[in-house]
């Protein structure tokens, strides 16, 4: 079972059919919806402010979700994929977004729905990432448009794949 820690009177809560890897860490004021997954070595640290996570969100290996004390919460809407080793800090990620591997999204930024944040991109504080675009670079900038239909199909596929992957770890037929 994941490391689940109460801090400052707040105990993490999660919905139905969630997978929390054995060495994932979920701390404090965290509320997570249904069919979410927090993968190996990922940290969701709601010790200094609230973290709200919607349904069908996958937080992949080594990712860190945090906020800033008395300044910024982290809000992650439905069907968001947060790539390996990404950092999502004190910002809002709207529904059906892909945060690429190693990307960083800083305080008070808003990533609107149907955005793709490329691997290694850095979204600076207070940046608004416009719906329907790919953002890449350091600091990140708008690279090109992506059609809502194509993006919705791909992000839904990724979200559903992570539900399938989580099932591999929660069934009794994976013992050695």
String of DSSP letters for 82-130: E-TT-EEES-EE-SS-EE-TT-EE-TT-EE-SS-EE-TT-EE-TT-EEP
Q: What is the pLDDT of residue 38?
A: 98
Q: What is the pLDDT of residue 140?
A: 98
Q: Would you say how long the chain is, in residues?
A: 176
Q: What is the pLDDT of residues 88-140, one digit of tens each?
A: 999 999 999 999 999 999 999 999 999 999 999 999 999 999 999 999 999 99
**Is residue 175 scored above 80 in pLDDT?**
no
For 11, 22, 24, 56, 167, the CA distances from 175, given in Å and listed in that order, are 30, 15, 20, 26, 13
Q: What is the pLDDT of residues 61-78, one digit of tens each?
A: 999 999 999 999 999 999
CATH class assigned to 3-174: mainly beta
Q: State the pLDDT confidence band at 172, using cuts at 50, 70 and 90.
A: low
Delimit the domains of the chain by residue range. 3-174
- The proportion of the chain whose per-residue pLDDT surpasses 90, expressed as a percent, equals 88
**Is residue 33 scored above 60 in pLDDT?**
yes
* 15: its two tokens: 């919905």
Instruction: For residue 132, give every residue at least 6 positions away whose Cβ sits within 8 Å of its Cβ, in sequence order, or none.
Output: 114, 115, 145, 146, 147, 148, 151
For 36, 88, 117, 169, 171, the CA distances from 17, given in Å and listed in that order, are 7, 23, 27, 12, 12
Least confident of 13-17, 69-73, 163-167, 172-176: 172-176
What distance in Å separates the CA atoms of residue 162 and residue 156, rounded to the nearest whole number?
Answer: 10
Q: What is the pLDDT of residue 148?
A: 77
């Amino acid at each position: 079972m994941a490391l689940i820690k109460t801090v400052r009177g707040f105990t993490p809560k999660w919905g139905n059919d969630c997978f929390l890897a054995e060495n994932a860490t979920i701390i404090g004021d965290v509320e997570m919806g249904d069919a979410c997954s927090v993968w190996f070595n990922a940290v969701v640290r709601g010790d200094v402010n609230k973290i709200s996570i919607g349904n069908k969100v996958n937080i992949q290996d080594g990712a860190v979700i945090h906020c800033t004390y008395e300044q910024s919460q982290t809000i992650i809407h439905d069907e968001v994929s947060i790539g390996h080793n990404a950092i999502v800090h004190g910002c809002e990620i709207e529904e059906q977004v892909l945060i690429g591997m190693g990307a960083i999204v800083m305080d008070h930024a808003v990533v609107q729905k149907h955005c793709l944040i490329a691997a290694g991109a850095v979204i600076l504080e207070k940046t608004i990432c416009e719906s329907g675009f790919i953002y890449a670079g350091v600091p990140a900038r708008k690279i090109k448009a992506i059609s809502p239909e194509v993006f919705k199909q791909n992000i839904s596929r990724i979200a559903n794949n992570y539900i399938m992957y989580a099932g591999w770890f929660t069934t009794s037929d994976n013992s050695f």
